[in-house]
């Protein structure tokens, strides 16, 4: 019998709590696409997390279909990957409960994302928002993920996941794999086009601050033209002194596949206007084939449902194995 080494397991997801943005693509999805051939990969629609802030049901449903179609249009292969909705696999909520019993209040109180979201004007603070990182840990640990490709803003959540896995294993033996974050060197934190010291975010009240993967070319050009840049006129990569220009250079570098020093040389003697237009053009050109594929995929919700059903079936079978071990470790009676 030929023994083949198990491939490393990758798991990640995005909350359908707003539009899918170029920042999600750059920070996370582009690595998902790159890893799908070499890793055993699971990619989720993180719908249970999305309801930690209020959602309109019809909008959420439509957005979930948009997300699956965009995952596929951006290059994820439904055959190679397990693509599923978090709410279709009840083991996530079940393991989340168990892990709650191993998480200290202080650990969650320290989470910067919770502090940010809960201190926003008019924020509705529910227990789910507070407990969010524990459910995220459950998402990851259920599948024994080895790598979690995310943007820099998820690093703290990954550290908690690792701590919980280590704490649990210490008590019960090697139940969970301790995962590693997989954060890109460039583009781990794409900034708002309107306030380049803040991260680009789907929950930003100003649509000018972000670029959606489905924004039309006109809208993309308009948003980049209105992007806030810095004082001076030199086009130089310097995130401290020139956060706006550096953010545009990062985006242009990724979407045109050109190194930043080459871009700095290219823009010598040119003004911010040229940088904005050329960044817009690179993003528009990159998104055009994705948007075209999206239109065809999105038109067939039945086919998207089939992909999710298939993914959920495979995910459920794997998640159950871990959950049984966790229940058994606690002395819960076996289910017959
Ligand atoms: P979410 O939905 O906020 O973001 C999805 C992914 O996009 C990355 N990201 C960014 N990357 C670069 N620049 C930005 N401005 C930027 N904004 C967002 C995020 O880091 C993330 O990788 N908690 C997660 C969802 C989640 C998850 C999981 C992820 C739930 N369970 C299990 C991985 C594994 C979140 O809210 O991502």
Is residue 35 lining ligand 1, measured as CB closer than 6 Å?
no
The pLDDT tens digits for 316-333 are 999 999 999 999 999 999
**Among 11, 18, 20, 28, which is best to mutate for testing ligand 1, by the most ligand atoms less than 8 A from CB?**
28
The pLDDT tens digits for 258-296 are 999 999 999 999 999 999 999 999 999 999 999 999 999
Q: Is the pLDDT of residue 3 over 90?
A: no
Tokens of 168: 């649990």
Q: Is the pLDDT of residue 2 over 70?
A: no
DSSP 8-state assignment for residue 17: S
Q: Please report the pLDDT score of residue 312 as a whole number.
A: 98
Is residue 11 lining ligand 1, measured as CB closer than 6 Å?
yes
Predicted TM-score (pTM) of the model is: 0.96
Place of tokens 């038109």: 299
Region 74-99 average pLDDT: 98
> 91: closest CA among 80, 99, 83?
99
Nearest CA to ligand 1 atom 16: 23
Bridge partners for 14 per DSSP: 45
Q: Please report the pLDDT score of residue 6 as a whole number.
A: 85
Q: Is the pLDDT of residue 336 over 90?
A: no
Distance 226 CA to ligand 1 centre (A): 26
The arrangement of strands across the sheet holding 81-85 comes to 81-85, 40-45, 9-14, 147-149, 180-182
**Which is the closest atom of ligand 1 to the Cα of 24?**
7
**Which is the closest atom of ligand 1 to the Cα of 46?**
30
Crossing angle for the helix pair 272-298 and 301-330, nearest 10 degrees? 90
Distances (CA, A) of 29 to 81, 83, 92: 13, 13, 22
Distance 266 CA to ligand 1 centre (A): 32
Is residue 129 lining ligand 1, measured as CB closer than 6 Å?
no
Is residue 42 lining ligand 1, measured as CB closer than 6 Å?
no
Spatial separation of the C-alpha atoms in residues 85 and 50, rounded to whole Å: 12
Bridge partners for 148 per DSSP: 181
Q: Please report the pLDDT score of residue 5 as a whole number.
A: 65
């Amino acid at each position: 019998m030929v023994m083949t080494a198990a491939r490393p397991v990758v798991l990640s997801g995005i909350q359908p709590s707003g539009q899918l943005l170029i920042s999600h693509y750059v920070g996370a999805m582009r690595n998902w696409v790159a890893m799908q051939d070499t890793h055993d990969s699971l990619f989720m629609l993180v719908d249970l997390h999305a309801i930690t802030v209020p959602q309109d049901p019809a909008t959420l449903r439509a957005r979930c279909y948009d997300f699956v179609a965009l995952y596929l249009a951006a290059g994820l292969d439904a055959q190679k990957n397990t693509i599923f909705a978090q709410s279709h696999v009840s083991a996530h909520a079940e393991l989340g409960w168990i892990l709650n019993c191993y998480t200290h209040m202080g650990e969650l109180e320290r989470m910067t994302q919770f502090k940010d979201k809960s201190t926003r004007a008019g924020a509705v603070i529910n227990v789910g928002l507070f407990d969010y990182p524990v459910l995220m840990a459950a998402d990851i640990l259920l599948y024994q993920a080895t790598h979690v490709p995310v943007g820099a803003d998820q690093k703290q959540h990954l550290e908690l996941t690792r701590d919980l896995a280590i704490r649990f294993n210490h008590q019960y033996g090697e139940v969970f794999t301790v995962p590693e974050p997989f954060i890109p060197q460039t583009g781990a934190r794409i900034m708002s086009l309107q306030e380049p010291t803040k991260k680009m975010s789907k929950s930003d009240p100003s649509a000018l601050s972000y670029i959606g993967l489905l924004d039309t070319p006109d809208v993309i050009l308009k948003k980049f033209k209105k992007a806030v840049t810095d004082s001076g006129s030199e086009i130089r990569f310097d995130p401290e002194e020139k956060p706006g220009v550096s953010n545009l250079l990062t985006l242009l570098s990724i979407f045109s596949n050109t190194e930043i020093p080459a871009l700095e040389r290219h823009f010598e003697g040119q003004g911010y206007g040229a940088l904005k237009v050329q960044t817009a053009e690179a993003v528009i050109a990159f998104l055009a084939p994705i948007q075209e594929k999206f239109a065809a995929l999105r038109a067939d919700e039945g086919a998207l449902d089939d992909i999710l059903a298939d993914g959920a079936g495979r995910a459920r079978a794997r998640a159950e194995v871990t959950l049984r071990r966790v229940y058994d470790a606690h002395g819960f009676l076996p289910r017959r």
